[in-house]
Structure 1
Amino acid sequence: MDPEAGDHISWDLDESDMWSVLDAWFSSKGLVSQQVESYNRFVDQTLRDVVELSPPLRIEHETTQNGRFKRSVHEMRFLRHGEHQAAGVTLAMGKPSGEETQPPRPIECRLRGLTYSLSVSAMLRYDPPEGSGQEGREETVLLGHIPLMVRSRHCVLDSDEVERMSEGGSDINKRNIRRIMQGECPYDDGGYFIVKGNEKAVVAQESMRRNHVFVFAMHDDPKYSHRLEIR
């Protein structure tokens, strides 16, 4: 920066400038970004890590053949990344679960007393006993359903279809139009679950970092100058 040009710049900020900074922050992050980002990380990373760390399931049993006992070992395991071209990834996140073919929206779950949930599937490989003459097979199995956080990455409110319906205008206007068209409040940033029609929120809590040493000064203790804590 030209030092002479800097002399003509005014660094005095008034209240309107401060509100502009706050508006810019909340328009991009919002008040519940820590909730949504944490849930996205849980679904996209933590769940996959749990499945990939699961050891193979070995099933051993004895069968009779010509009057003799024969031990056979069956093995089932989840496929890791890259083991199967068709699988692509270990887990597959389906659309929000519902009775209809079309995934229900949060407003429908509230009105009808449904749970806004997400189906989780995984690619499973079955290896028959050696020498049995059978071929191994792979299939997609449903692991279950988990509550889906409103406004998270897998929520239907952030689908491409809704994005096309609100083309044009500023980002904030497009966001408000999308939410109104979906029957949602334009000021609702999500970050909660819908269980049997009721909105449920997980209260965020602060905790000390684990496996790290914290040292605190002891001003009121004449015997010790500092206190050390670790969890």
Structure 2
Amino acid sequence: MKSLVKSYFDNHKLNEHQIESYNDFIENRLQKIINEFGYIDTDIKNYKIKLGKIRVGQPIIKEADGSVRKITPMEARIRDLTYSAPIYLELIGIEEENGEEKVIETIEVYIGELPVMLGSKICILHGKSEEELIELGEDPKDPFGYFIINGTERVLITQEDLIPNRIICEFTEKNNKEIALSKVFSVRHGFRALCTVERHPDGLLYVTGPGLSGNVPLVVVMRALGAETDKDIIEAVNDPRFAVEILLNIQEIREEFGVNTQEDALEYIGKRIAPNQSKEYRIRKAKSVLMNNFLPHLGVREEDFIKKIKFLGIMTRNTLELYFGYRGEDDKDHYAFKRAKLAGDLLEELFRSAFSQLTKDIKYQLSKQTLRNKKPSIKAAVRSDIITDRIKHAMATGTWVTGKTGVSQLLDRTSYLATNSQLRRIVSPLSRSQPHFEARELHGTHWGKICPSETPEGQNCGLVKNFALMAKITRDEDDNVVIEFLKKFGIKEFNI
């Protein structure tokens, strides 16, 4: 056993999950965020900016005299500076003429500073021997995996979260009545939408989602997505056990609201979303909400409505199975339903928000240039302090873009064990003031993943945990990799 443990720690560090996550953010996720935005549409006629390659430089410092040089973590600590690296982005000015795109200018601009995690690939300490680390003023046994913000050592605490894009079934109470429901946290490009299918005591099925303005009958949403015939809706649920239940819902909605076609359904939803507006506007608004806000992980185009109908059918089937006792409630405390947001995931959220503000500001600055009858200048339109200030403020205060506090904390240097413990901490988002007895208890799936003994006393008990010493945290894999792997077994189509 001793040789096994020794062999493991010869190849793995206690906090390598944080460093690996940060490296993945630098190498892959930054460019992924840029690709999500794609273009910056401007108010200038036939002119837009295409976003190209992004890169992060080496940690540097700009002195008061204008000189630029490399900086070490120890210098950042002593001088109360932020250990950060410059970010450069390729921006391509494009003018459209007769339906063709013409490149006006291509320029790589400095868009801000990104705090550097000690020990990461872009850190000056990466790959250094113990003797070289001592020369740079560092402790060769330091675990790294933290940041230096304004001279203070700060660590991003891993956040525990429910799994996105997966259906969870449970019973809940509304108005003192028990309701069976299936819910999914649909996540796309940082946007998180909670969508549910509920069976109420009167037998009617309802759907909730962002922008739908409360409970909307399932049949109405199905018709709005393109399932116009009764057969389409029954086939979406695809379970003969519940055919009568679905038919009763269809009949009830037809008699009460007169919804028979896709246009009727869109009109019904549009009246709730945009009352007192024209019919054309209401239908267009309803369609926009269903495309962009409802189950966004399945796509945000009208062509993706067929996927949403199928997924909604699966959610409906699960809800009815739960209500009629064919299945039990899902155990939300099971670790298969959990995901850990590491430093890379947290910085991805933060950078996406900051970059969104930068794109809006670039658009505004270009508009100002036009009003002054100046030729559009990309370099003059980019203000680097927007990204720098937003990221630095969040990491210095611990207040994240989601509104959660305590995400960034001062590194505990009480002892070597305290430092490593904090770097391996995982925090639940549940409220400390509520009992949440089941969430605080040890679960069988914690075995080998979560330490069964290290948790604080008091209101944080069971909500602030630590990873087990030999727990290995894996990263998200692209769905397309799995799909291509399944195709090797002769599967021709991979439908929901």
**TM-score grouping bracket, smaller chain normalisation:** 0.5 to 0.7
Is 1:120 matched up with 2:126?
A: no
- Which residues in structure 2 correspond to 1:150-161 (within 5 Å)? 150-158=118-126
| Unmatched runs of 5 consecutive residues or more in structure 1 | 1-17, 62-71, 80-89, 163-174, 217-223
Structure 1 partner of 2:294: none
Is 1:49 matched up with 2:32?
A: yes
Equivalent residues of 2:92, 2:103 under 8 A apart: no
Structure 2 partner of 1:97: 60
Amino acid in the other structure paired with 2:116: L
Equivalent of residue 205 in structure 1, options 159, 163, 172? 159
Alpha-carbon deviations, 1:167-219, whole Å to 9, x = none? xxxxxxxx322321221111112100000100000112333422335789xxx
Amino acid in the other structure paired with 1:96: P
* The 10-residue stretch of structure 1 (22-31 or 180-189) with the greater mean CA deviation from structure 2: 22-31
- Which residues in structure 2 correspond to 1:72-83 (within 5 Å)? 72-79=45-52
Amino acid in the other structure paired with 1:76: I
- Which residues in structure 2 correspond to 1:11-50 (within 5 Å)? 18-50=1-33
Equivalent residues of 1:213, 1:229 under 8 A apart: no
Distance 1:128 1:212 in 2: 42
Is 1:143 matched up with 2:143?
A: no
Distance 1:211 1:59 in 2: 33
Distance 1:191 1:135 in 2: 42
Amino acid in the other structure paired with 1:203: I
Pair 98,122 (structure 1): closer, same or farther in 2 beyond 3 Å: same
Equivalent residues of 1:213, 1:228 under 8 A apart: no
Shift in Å, 1:152: 0.5
Is 1:110 matched up with 2:77?
A: yes
Using the aligned pairs only, state the percent identity: 26
Secondary structure in structure 2 of the residue aligned to 1:98: strand
Alpha-carbon deviations, 1:54-94, whole Å to 9, x = none? 13223234xxxxxxxxxx32211112xxxxxxxxxx11111
Pair 57,215 (structure 1): closer, same or farther in 2 beyond 3 Å: closer
Give the aligned CA root-mean-square deviation in angstroms: 2.7
Shift in Å, 1:46: 1.0
Alpha-carbon deviations, 1:83-124, whole Å to 9, x = none? xxxxxxx11111113125331011110111010112111111
Distance 2:134 2:10 in 1: 17
| Unmatched runs of 5 consecutive residues or more in structure 2 | 171-324, 338-496
Alpha-carbon deviations, 1:8-33, whole Å to 9, x = none? xxxxxxxxxx3333233223221111
Alpha-carbon deviations, 1:102-157, whole Å to 9, x = none? 310111101110101121111111123538xx961100011211111000111011
Pair 52,196 (structure 1): closer, same or farther in 2 beyond 3 Å: same
Structure 2 partner of 1:194: 148
Structure with higher helix content: 2
Secondary structure in structure 2 of the residue aligned to 1:139: strand
Equivalent residues of 2:60, 2:68 under 8 A apart: no
Equivalent residues of 2:91, 2:108 under 8 A apart: yes
